[in-house]
Amino acid sequence: MSLAAVRAGLVERLQTIGGLRVYWDDPGEAPETPAVVAGSGGISAKYDRTLGGADVRYRLELLLLVDGGDGGEAWEDVASFAAPSGGLSIKEAVDGDLGGRCDWARVLSVKRMGRVTHGRRAYRGAAFQVEVYCSG
């Protein structure tokens, strides 16, 4: 139920997408793309107490970074990662039980798609809002 367990589960799930680099900590100025930076928009936790256990819901952002060019290929890549299903779908990779570490994780929404910035550099990308539930 710890944040470390959430981290391990999300990284493991995202690494099932071939060619996608996954960073939990800040990768620096110019990470190799395509990449996901987890927790870049901060992480929140909401605690509950049920039947003597401590339940927690984590919310965090996954920031997808794709090549910064204006070409149609970058947009196609973003669309593939943002699709609800398919081999490159971030939602399909994340949604599930995180390998038994937490009860479930799910992508709630894509907050923005298009031009995103990381480390003062512009990319094509998207910000995914993720919720993870861990029961006590």
* Alpha helices per DSSP H over 1-136: 3-14, 72-82, 90-94
Please give the CATH number for the structural domain made up of 3-134.
3.30.2000.10
pLDDT tens by residue, 30-84: 788 999 998 877 889 898 866 666 789 999 999 999 986 666 788 889 999 999 9
Name the residue ranges covered by the structural domains of the chain.
3-134
pLDDT score, position 50: 64
Q: How many CB atoms lie within 10 A of CB 80?
A: 16
Going by pLDDT thresholds of 50, 70 and 90, the confidence category of residue 28 is confident
User: Does an H or E element contain 59, and which?
Assistant: strand 53-66
Q: Cα–Cα distances in Å, from 68 out to 22, 98, 111?
A: 18, 31, 19
Give CA angle at 56 (44, 135), nearest 5°.
155
Residue 52, helix vs strand vs coil: coil
Say if residues 119 and 30 touch (Cβ distance below 8 Å). yes
Percentage, residues of the chain above pLDDT 90: 51
pTM: 0.90
